[in-house]
Amino acid sequence: MIISNDEKLPIIKKKTDKLNPSITDFDKTFENNIRPKTFDSYIGQTNLKSMLKISIEAAKKRNVPLDHLLFYGPPGLGKTTLACVIANETSSEIKITSAPAIERPRDIIGILMSLKPGEVLFIDEIHRLNKVAEEILYPAMEDFFLDMNTGKGQSLKTLRVPIPKFTLIGATTKAGALSGPLRDRFGIVHRLEFYSKEELKQVIIRTAEILNISITDKGAEAVAMRSRGTPRIANRLVKRVSDYALVKSNGVVDEQIANKALDNLNIDKTGLDGTDRGLIKIIAEKYQGGPVGLETLAAALGEDSKTIEEVYEPYLLQEGYIQRTPRGRKITPYAVKMLNLNNSNVQQTLFE
Ligand code: ADP
């Protein structure tokens, strides 16, 4: 696999905090070093991988590029990594970009015109693609043509310009925000799942080996427990825990050191961080357990509503701490128990 180093390719930078699995500049270098390159080293997502292997094999036999793919799910679950694995496994080059960086028609036209036959084009946050860029993409995805307008008024003509056959891989945290016509043009649409503790443990052991970090089996388990089902967080934590081990002990990450370091980072045994706990507590204490609307919640928490919806909520929903109802977010009896919330108002609304 060759990652294009075309400097003109627009690439977006995202802001982040310590547990937010969005990507930082530091992460980019760090992640490129530890990113799995093959299906064998890409841990978990078993169903998706076996389905992809069949699709790749079939495309090879038919001698056509792989169908366009859409991956969706919370940040840090391995969408970009999987796109790179696919490029590698199909011996293709890959261009990586992000929808907010494709502002003008000429951005998307430039990218499409520069593709090589069989190349993979990865567009992150594809739900944020603007309407004009989307419409340029439709014929490109369907028939590998660009419709270009020339002339003005009565002499306006549309030229169909052929482009090389390519595979578009879109990634999004919000599949529901994609327009119907764009979504329909993907041959394969798949959700990435949160990782089990066992899978995260494998991610951690693999990363520790690459970074020369000594970690015991129990140490890896302790980090996995608190990684919110997300490889990006697991990788970040293993590094932080290893720093702690180096400074406070003999450098070996065992269970005790891992737990101490993670306590120090304010991440509790279930993997919830300060923002997660704050979000649950605000619903419990300020809104009697909910329901409360997303915007109200965001204002009370001092967080961006998108970050709450796309980064924090998915894990809290999956683990059963909160529920989404038509009238807003509610906490669950499980959250009351786990966070030891003792408020009689809360209990009443929850069991209604
Ligand atoms: P996303 O694109 O979904 O935000 P990434 O693909 O950038 O997530 O993954 C974040 C990091 O997590 C990667 O650098 C990679 O090292 C690690 N990672 C993700 N998925 C896996 C996996 N299945 N196996 C091993 N490591 C993974």
223 lies in the same domain as 305: no
| Residue 352 located in a structural domain | no
8 lies in the same domain as 99: yes
What is the CATH number for 255?
Answer: 1.10.8.60
133 lies in the same domain as 211: no
Answer whether 219's CB lies under 8 Å from 200's CB.
no
pLDDT tens, the chain, 352 aa long: 444 433 334 443 333 333 455 556 666 677 777 899 999 999 999 999 999 999 999 999 999 999 999 999 999 999 999 999 999 999 999 999 999 999 999 999 999 999 999 999 999 999 999 999 999 999 999 999 998 888 888 888 888 999 999 999 999 998 888 999 999 999 999 999 999 999 999 999 999 999 999 999 999 999 999 999 999 999 999 999 999 999 999 999 999 999 999 999 999 888 898 889 999 999 998 998 989 999 999 999 998 998 999 889 999 999 999 999 989 999 999 999 988 887 666 666 665 5
97 lies in the same domain as 157: yes
Q: Which atom of ligand 1 is nearest to the CA of 73?
A: 3
47 lies in the same domain as 147: yes
The predicted structure's pLDDT at residue 148 = 85
Question: Which residue range forms the structural domain that includes residue 17?
Answer: 3-191
Ligand 1 within 6 A of 74 CB? no
Give me the amino acid identity at 59. A
| Residue 344 located in a structural domain | no
136 lies in the same domain as 82: yes
Instruction: Name residue 276's beta-bridge partners.
Output: none
Q: Can the peptide bond before residue 21 be classed as cis, meaning omega within 30 degrees of 0? A: no
Ligand 1 within 6 A of 95 CB? no
**Calpha distance 100→113 (Å, rounded):** 19
| Token pair recorded at residue 267 | 């991440």
153 lies in the same domain as 282: no
Q: How far is the CA of 328 from the centre of ligand 1 (A)?
A: 31
Residues with a catalytic annotation lie at: 79-80, 124, 173, 232
The predicted structure's pLDDT at residue 352 = 58
Last residue of a domain, one of 157, 191, 225: 191
What is the CATH number for 304?
Answer: 1.10.10.10
Ligand 1 within 6 A of 75 CB? yes
131 lies in the same domain as 234: no
36 lies in the same domain as 166: yes
**Calpha distance 290→283 (Å, rounded):** 6
**Calpha distance 69→144 (Å, rounded):** 15
235 lies in the same domain as 286: no
**CA R_g for the chain:** 23
Q: How far is the CA of 243 from the centre of ligand 1 (A)?
A: 21
Q: Which atom of ligand 1 is nearest to the CA of 195?
A: 23
The predicted structure's pLDDT at residue 26 = 61
Task: Please name the residue that has the structure tokens 């390159």.
Answer: 37
Q: How far is the CA of 100 from the centre of ligand 1 (A)?
A: 21
Q: How far is the CA of 31 from the centre of ligand 1 (A)?
A: 8
48 CB-near residues (< 8 Å, 6+ apart): 82, 190, 192
| Residue 345 located in a structural domain | no
Domain count, the chain: 3
